[in-house]
Amino acid sequence: MLSDQAATPMVPETVDYPGEDLNVLSASKNYYRWIVDIMEPFVSGHTVEYGAGIGTMSQRLRPHVERLTLIEPATHLAERLSHGFKDDPAVEVLNNTLERHAPFLPAGSIDAFVLVNVLEHIEDDAQAVKWMFEALAPGGKLALFVPALPWLMSDLDRAHGHFRRYRRQDLVRLMEMVGAEIELLHFFDMPGIVPWWLLNTIGGKVDFNLPAVRVFDSLVIPPTRWLETRFPPPIGKNLVMVAHKPRP
């Protein structure tokens, strides 16, 4: 079901975002399966996914939760999501932004939040974390996947509305601010650093190449996953983190 929510002053409106890059990135099946497999043990009950896009993560998360609320600021993508889940009464789709949704959530009402490549789009990420932490039930989880390494900041990041790329200590500081306890925090996709730096940071590319995405996903990601699962990398193109709200 697609619905709207009352607006909050002084926060971003819903957007007109074409989303062609999401269609390209959806070809990264091994990449997204890896992310879901990391987060799946931590999601349950009523889970909220912010920035659900075209449902690449949502479809994979659905079997692991009882109820799924999908928040997507682009109207046509929210409509696409709503159509994709129209036969599932346990999935609600809202055409909204985190900033216009999270402040209204009742305290302790959510079991898990999932944000994959979303927090970097939020100008006041500290406030966003505070809102979500307040809405978490005791023991509830906050699962984040974000771009890492500020020195990789590129025109592609800026073109997609990224305010920042993160360091480990940035995420630690955000969790300490609200009193969340970190269960998992590590770098992700070490081999992706060099091509990102060459093509985007140095080369100035602002889009994704579908054949290149497919080759990287099929040839590089499987062995990378095998290695990084056994030997956590000291550095990576992204960071993945799961934290929880302590029980009383």
pLDDT attached to residue 4:
46
State the alpha helices, DSSP H only, in the chain.
20-25, 29-39, 58-61, 75-84, 98-101, 125-135, 155-159, 168-178, 193-196, 210-215, 221-230
More confident residue, 18 or 187: 187
Mean pLDDT over each residue of the chain, to the nearest integer: 91
Query: Model confidence over 148-160: pLDDT tens digits?
Result: 999 999 999 999 9
pLDDT attached to residue 177:
98
Is-contact 133 142, C-beta < 8 A? yes
Q: Which CATH number does the domain housing residue 21 bear? A: 3.40.50.150
pLDDT attached to residue 80:
93
- Binning pLDDT at 50, 70 and 90, where does residue 41 land? very high
- Residue 248, pLDDT > 70, answer yes
In whole angstroms, what is the distance from residue 176 CA to residue 110 CA? 20
pLDDT attached to residue 15:
53
Print the domain residue range for 217: 2-244
DSSP code per residue over 52-102: -TTSTTHHHHGGG-SEEEEEESBHHHHHHHHHHTTT-TTEEEEE--HHHHG
Query: Model confidence over 75-110: pLDDT tens digits?
Result: 999 999 999 999 999 999 999 999 999 999 999 999
More confident residue, 21 or 108: 108
- Residue 7, pLDDT > 50, answer no
Specify the number of domains making up the chain. 1
Query: Model confidence over 111-133: pLDDT tens digits?
Result: 999 999 999 999 999 999 999 99
